[in-house]
Amino acid sequence: MPKFCPNCGSKLVYEMAKFCSECGFRLSPPEDKEELEDLVEDIEEEVKIRIEKPIYDLGKKLEEFVEKILNVQGFKTNCRVRLSGKSGAKHEIDIL
């Protein structure tokens, strides 16, 4: 069993994983009904892990990904910029 996903290159969390936890790439096809049931259990476990991931970390990854896209398109970006509003209150802009 490979230690890294052949599709995205991410390190595999579980040695016997059927799918990559990062990109969802199928690492090995199911062979029979029992293996298919195991596959369903693995997917359910992966879903639990993804749900339990802290929202802050997911938001931070989203910001980084959007910033990369904008940079590739030729835009200059700044992350987590604090601007003063008309009332003087500070407002944080994730990507400017």
Question: Is 16 found in the same domain as 3?
Answer: yes
pTM of the model: 0.38
Structure token pair of residue 63: 């910001």
Length of the chain: 96
The values of phi and psi at residue 88, to 5°, are 95, -5
Question: Is 79 found in the same domain as 47?
Answer: no
Higher pLDDT, 39 or 76: 76
Question: Is 1 found in the same domain as 47?
Answer: yes
Question: Is 85 found in the same domain as 41?
Answer: no
With bands split at pLDDT 50, 70 and 90, how would you rate the model's confidence at 74? very high
Domain containing residue 59:
55-95
Question: Is 91 found in the same domain as 74?
Answer: yes
Question: Is 74 found in the same domain as 88?
Answer: yes
Question: Is 6 found in the same domain as 47?
Answer: yes
- The rounded Cα 60 to chain-centroid distance in angstroms is 10
Q: How many domains does the chain have?
A: 2
Please report the pLDDT score of residue 95 as a whole number. Answer: 67
Higher pLDDT, 69 or 79: 69
**Strand 90-95 to strand 79-84: parallel, antiparallel, or no bridges (unpaired)?**
antiparallel
With bands split at pLDDT 50, 70 and 90, how would you rate the model's confidence at 1? low
